[in-house]
Amino acid sequence: MTKFDEATGAIRVDETTYDVCLDPGYSIGGPLNGGYLMAVLLRAVVDASPHEHPVTTSAQFLRAAVPGPAQVRLEQIKTGRTATMTRASLVRDGDSIIESLVTTATLGGAVPDWTDGPSVTMPPMEQCLWLPAPKIESNMTLNAQMELAFDPPTIGWLEGRPSGRPEARAYFRMAEPQDPDPYVLALAVDCLPPVVFSAGERGWAPTVDLTWHLRALPAPGWLTVIAGGRLISDGWFDEDVEVWDSTGRLVAQSRQLARVGRG
């Protein structure tokens, strides 16, 4: 079992309740990363489902989450031979952090009937840039849990040279050796800096709504994560993400709506 498996573990209390412990290792300046929180929630949902994989998750983020004991509370809405729909809540100290609807199914290794390619071609990894290691006392602990090699134009904002477009692109894998699985993909769709950073904005950009789809089970190796936005307006922005595995197969897609950060 990897550290990520432990950090996202869910212990069954009864048919509708799971105990979890939110790990401080997935912090972004204090609040915990939304993709990590979804992975925790999905562990409980899948354990309670007759189906193996979370094929679609729609999550509303109600408040920032901090580390510590929490619970996942479940309500199965419908169960069938091919899919199960579950309402799931992540609750801490009596307050709901995430309210979600999750559909589970069982995916095989079917060859796609048709597939498109990545929306953007990534440069070779040796031409990519790596984020500097966080300081020991930093509360940006998420960075230590994963490795990201960025397409250079999308990380120029670090040196005061944003590209002017809402975009982010990187190769991704967990820092601890681990083959990607659906829970790693839940983290991957929310692992990049907000795309508005590249458009010239800064500050914490809290997610309000995020929906993601598991399209296929990923092969071992690096993932390619490509994110872009279409509109920044009235303090809101959107972010679309596609995740490709090491064989060039599309394995996850997401869309989120978030607030433009301040600070």
Q: What is the pLDDT of residue 135?
A: 57
Tokens 């993601």 correspond to what residue?
212
**Tokens (6 digits) for 81:** 């031979």
Closest listed residue to residue 224, CA positions, set 204, 239, 197, 245 = 245
Number of domains the chain contains:
1
Residue 112 in domain: no
CB 83 within 8 A of CB 45: no
Confidence band for 176, pLDDT divided at 50, 70 and 90: very high
Task: Count the helices and strands in the chain (H runs, E runs).
Answer: 3, 14
Q: CATH code at 70?
A: 2.40.160.210
Closest listed residue to residue 34, CA positions, set 171, 191, 228 = 191
What is the rounded average pLDDT for all residues in the chain?
A: 95
Q: What is the pLDDT of residue 56?
A: 98
Residue 73 in domain: yes
Residue 113 in domain: no
Residue 38 in domain: yes
pLDDT of residue 209 exceeding 80:
yes
Confidence band for 52, pLDDT divided at 50, 70 and 90: very high
Q: What is the pLDDT of residue 204?
A: 84
pLDDT of residue 241 exceeding 70:
yes
List the domain range (segments joined by +) for residue 10: 3-107+123-259
Identify the residue with better confidence: 164 or 30. Answer: 164
Mean pLDDT of 51-69: 97
Residue 118 in domain: no
Closest listed residue to residue 133, CA positions, set 143, 119, 124, 145 = 143
Residue 63 in domain: yes
Mean pLDDT of 255-262: 90
CB 59 within 8 A of CB 103: no
- The CA distance from 73 to 140, in Å, is 28
Residue 209 in domain: yes
213, containing H or E segment: strand 207-214
pLDDT of residue 116 exceeding 70:
yes
Confidence band for 167, pLDDT divided at 50, 70 and 90: very high
Mean pLDDT of 202-218: 95
What one-character DSSP code corresponds to residue 30?
S
CB 189 within 8 A of CB 241: yes
Count CB neighbours of 137 within 10 A. Answer: 5
Instruction: Detail the DSSP E strand segments found in 16-61.
Output: 17-22, 53-61
Q: What is the pLDDT of residue 136?
A: 54
Confidence band for 120, pLDDT divided at 50, 70 and 90: very high
Confidence band for 263, pLDDT divided at 50, 70 and 90: low
Mean pLDDT of 198-225: 95
Q: Which of 56-60, 105-109, 217-221, 252-256 has the lowest mean pLDDT?
A: 105-109
Residue 94 in domain: yes
